[in-house]
Chains A and B, each alone.
Chain A
Amino acid sequence: GAGVSQSPRYKVAKRGQDVALRCDPISGHVSLFWYQQALGQGPEFLTYFQNEAQLDKSGLPSDRFFAERPEGSVSTLKIQRTQQEDSAVYLCASSLSYAVSRGGQPQHFGDGTRLSIL
């Protein structure tokens, strides 16, 4: 079966433009996560959905970042008025269970979207 699918794989935008990144989780997965990975760093948590509810958005770096999952499956991460520091790989992950820890199902990652802001 298909894993987590992200599109586009690569996105180049000019500073100030808005971008939208899409994530198709594994079918039936309840939990969905977005991470930002800067060059040479590990992934950093952005936000978390349980079905359509955004339960944690503590990692979003500014109010220019917005994520949604309106029907509890596909999710979109939108970045408004992009800045050069937004350049990174954006990873999406999904999980079958409600909690990653205490024996919960692991997170399955997509290939990511590499965003470059010129």
Chain B
Amino acid sequence: AQRVTQPEKLLSVFKGAPVELKCNYSYSGSPELFWYVQYSRQRLQLLLRHISRESIKGFTADLNKGETSFHLKKPFAQEEDSAMYYCALSEGGNKLVFGAGTILRVKS
């Protein structure tokens, strides 16, 4: 069965420091990976997806099939990046499989 692992429940960094939120997955086929974000008192929303290969709000994520990882990175964290981040996998159909999430806290 497919699984998404986010090893850190909480990541705390200072403003301006680099950020890397880790995501590892297990899936035998060709998955599609996503990062979703939930800001305080807001609903869950899509941040980026690997097929788009784009940078959103300064965040990027590269799919590494050899390491089965899809880590989310940003070179310089901002206070407004503080949120809950979920890595998710689509098995080629419709449903999403989510990790447990990582709280990112950016301190000033």
Q: What is the interface of chain A, defined by CB distance below 8 A to chain B? A: 3-4, 31, 33, 35, 40-45, 48, 55-56, 59, 91, 98-103, 106-112
Contact = CB atoms under 8 A, between A and B. Distances in A.
19 contacts: A4-B43, A31-B94, A33-B96, A41-B101, A42-B99, A42-B100, A43-B96, A45-B97, A100-B32, A100-B93, A100-B94, A101-B90, A101-B93, A101-B94, A102-B51, A102-B92, A103-B51, A108-B45, A110-B43
Interface string B43-55: 1111001010000
B32 A44 contact: no
Interface of B: 4, 9, 32, 34, 43-46, 49, 51, 86, 88, 90-101
Contacts of A103: 51
Nearest to B51: A103
Contact of B43 (A33, A48, A59, A111): A111
A73 B83 CA distance: 31
B98 A107 contact: no
Contacts of A101: 32, 90-94
Contacts of B98: 35, 42-44
Nearest to B4: A42
Contacts of B86: 42-43
B94 A43 contact: no
Contacts of A40: 9, 100
